[in-house]
Amino acid sequence: MARPRKPLLSTDRIVAAARTLVDAEGLAAVSTRRLAAELGVSGPSLYNHFRTKDQILEAVADSVSAQVDLSMFEDGRDWRTALHDWAVSYRAALRDHPNIVPVLARGPGRRPAGLRLADAVFGAMVAAGWPAAQATSIGAVMRYFVMGSALSSFAGGFVDDETAYDPADYPHLGQAHLLAEQQEKIDERAFETGLSALLEGLASQYAGLRE
């Protein structure tokens, strides 16, 4: 029998299958046995590429980090615009893959794409004139903000039952049952409101560096 033109298994195929599984069913759904079944291979063959489930999840996390656009730090945009555009791209990647956020929240560790992301933000801030310590803090606070916005939905946390929020108990939540149906719009507006406020505060600090 002739050999197949393409190998049955590759690192990229494993990561793609694991990412699809995480997106659909969450982190707990990933196992070497389940992945092997999804890929139509034997379980032990996965160990030629990954030794543990954690290594697979780390690779999935890094594949999501690789989706974040970093071009804004290289094309001449000012630091504030670059941070805004990067945060929007970062959130979009996490919004598309929310179940992997807990793994990403551990930090980049040794993940190449995650490290490139951190390096790009820090380098751009230092190049813009921020002291290294403050550049580090900016990278951290932006990461906290973006990841927090991707972990859950404020609007989605309310049920669409108008009887759920008795005005006798919650006098200011009379319209809260309407939030869920406007979830995407409300969450997007909240993200932009918070991002604008955060960048405005940083701009004020930056101006102080120049005085």
Domain count, the chain: 2
**CA proximity to 146, closest of 110, 92, 71, 103:** 92
Asked whether residue 53 falls in the same domain as residue 87, the answer is no
pTM, entire model: 0.88
pLDDT per position as a tens digit, 161-208: 989 999 999 999 999 999 988 898 999 999 999 999 999 999 999 998
CA distance readout (Å), 127 to 86, 87, 107, 136: 16, 18, 23, 13
Tokens of 184: 């995407």
Domain residues for 15? 11-63
pLDDT per position as a tens digit, 80-133: 999 999 999 999 999 999 999 999 999 999 999 999 999 999 999 999 999 999
Q: Tell me if 36 is assigned to some domain.
A: yes
Asked whether residue 18 falls in the same domain as residue 57, the answer is yes
Asked whether residue 42 falls in the same domain as residue 141, the answer is no
Instruction: Report which DSSP code applies to 14.
Output: H
Domain with residue 106: its CATH number is 1.10.357.10
Sign of CA dihedral 170, 171, 172, 173: positive
Q: Please, is 16 exposed, middle or buried when counting C-beta atoms within 10 Å of its C-beta (0-12, 13-18, 19+)?
A: middle
CA angle 155, 156, 160 (to 5 degrees): 95
Domain with residue 57: its CATH number is 1.10.10.60
Asked whether residue 49 falls in the same domain as residue 107, the answer is no
